[in-house]
């Protein structure tokens, strides 16, 4: 028998985060005259699009009960590769972009192979990869920021008019990506396999899912998504920045966790991750508009994460 609709909404893992997001918006709307404006919401989406996109890849990996500590570093390397190839090596921008995406996907592939072929824990693989990729970024970039980018690499940072509000193409792409992955995870056989893998790899294997290949695919796809995040980052800042992404691995995990996805795999929704990323963005923006120093933003984000995981644990205990 199917539960009534309100009941079902509450039992989805996104309901809690969504309620938190709406309440936060109401709170900041009451406290700051500038908060409830089109341009400000457009700004918040711009500010979360890079971490949000990274967090799509992170969600995929966490759903398989893995974790990716290298995502921010891979993104930074991808950004340097596409900008340096286009500016310093004079490659056609489209090729440079493709190379950047390919490099990111390749690192995802290597992560996936190490996790499946040598059975290393994802935490260790990606911790090692974090250092490898970080170093490669600094070696390859020679610690130099790349400027004067071709239009193709900054296009996503341009805006179009939506009513009275300027919206960046990157924001639009980010939302489309979330919808695409919501579809892939929610309505395809591949998506069901990812959940099955995260719930129990052994059961998944016995039901005929090729779990190794699936895992490698997930890590590679996540890498490709980091490449798109790299393009978003480059177009947002207008430069190739070797220092970028240093805390984005943890920020992306924050978005996933705040979005109600379980760190133990198999449970969660990618749209929850979008909500999680928006919660962080709304708090940062709203607190800044109220004149609260950024150290309090860090404090509050930390508390939110602990509480979100506590909620996940408590609701699991109740389910048993």
Q: Which residues bind another protein (CB under 8 A)?
A: 10-11, 13, 15-17, 19-20, 23-24, 27, 31-34, 39-40, 43, 46-47, 50, 142-145, 147, 233, 236-239, 241, 243-244, 246-247, 283-285, 287-296, 298-300, 303-304, 307-308, 310-311, 314-315, 318
Min dist CB 286 to another protein, Å, is: 8
Min dist CB 247 to another protein, Å, is: 5
In the numeric block, which tokens belong to residue 292?
């609260």
Shorter beta-carbon distance to another protein: residue 197 or 304: 304
Shorter beta-carbon distance to another protein: residue 138 or 212: 138
Shorter beta-carbon distance to another protein: residue 20 or 55: 20
Closest among 190, 194, 191, 213 to 204, alpha carbons compared: 194
Shorter beta-carbon distance to another protein: residue 204 or 258: 258
* Cα Rg of the chain, angstroms: 20
Q: Which residue has the tokens 């909620």?
A: 311
Min dist CB 53 to another protein, Å, is: 13
Min dist CB 59 to another protein, Å, is: 19
Min dist CB 300 to another protein, Å, is: 5
Shorter beta-carbon distance to another protein: residue 224 or 287: 287
C-alpha atoms less than 13 angstroms from C-alpha of 251 in its C-beta half-sphere: 23
Q: List, in order, residues 6 or more apart from 28 with CB less than 8 Å away.
A: 35, 282, 285, 286, 287, 289, 290
Q: How many CB atoms lie within 10 A of CB 166?
A: 15
Q: List, in order, residues 6 or more apart from 4 with CB less than 8 Å away.
A: none
Q: Say how far apart CA 149 and CA 144 lie, in whole Å.
A: 14
């Amino acid at each position: 028998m199917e539960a009534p609709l309100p009941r079902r909404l509450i039992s989805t893992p996104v309901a809690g985060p969504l309620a938190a997001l709406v309440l936060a918006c109401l709170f900041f709307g009451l406290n700051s005259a500038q908060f409830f404006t089109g341009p400000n919401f457009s700004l918040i989406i711009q500010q979360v699009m890079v971490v949000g996109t990274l967090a799509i890849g992170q969600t995929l990996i966490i759903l398989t009960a893995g974790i990716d500590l290298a995502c921010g570093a891979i993104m930074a390397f991808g950004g340097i590769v596409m900008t340096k190839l286009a500016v310093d090596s004079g490659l056609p921008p489209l090729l440079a972009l493709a190379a950047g995406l390919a490099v990111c996907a390749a690192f995802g592939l290597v992560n996936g192979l190490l996790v499946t072929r040598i059975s290393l824990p994802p935490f260790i693989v990606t911790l090692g990869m974090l250092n490898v990729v970080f170093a490669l970024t600094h070696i390859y970039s020679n610690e130099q920021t790349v400027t004067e980018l071709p239009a193709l690499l900054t296009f996503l940072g341009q805006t179009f008019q939506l009513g009275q509000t300027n919206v960046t193409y990157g924001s639009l792409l980010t939302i489309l990506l979330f919808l695409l992955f919501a579809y892939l995870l929610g309505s395809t056989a591949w998506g069901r396999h990812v959940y099955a893998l995260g719930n129990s790899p052994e059961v998944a294997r016995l039901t005929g899912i090729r779990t190794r290949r699936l895992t490698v695919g997930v890590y590679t796809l996540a890498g490709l998504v980091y490449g798109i995040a790299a393009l978003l980052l480059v177009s947002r800042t207008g430069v190739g920045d070797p220092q970028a992404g240093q805390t984005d691995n943890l920020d992306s995990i924050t978005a996933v966790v705040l979005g109600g996805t379980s760190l133990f795999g198999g449970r969660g929704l990618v749209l929850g991750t979008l909500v999680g990323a928006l919660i962080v963005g709304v708090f940062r923006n709203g607190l800044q508009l109220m004149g609260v120093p950024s150290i309090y933003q860090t404090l509050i984000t930390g508390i939110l994460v602990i509480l979100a995981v506590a909620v996940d644990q408590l609701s699991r205990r109740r389910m048993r």
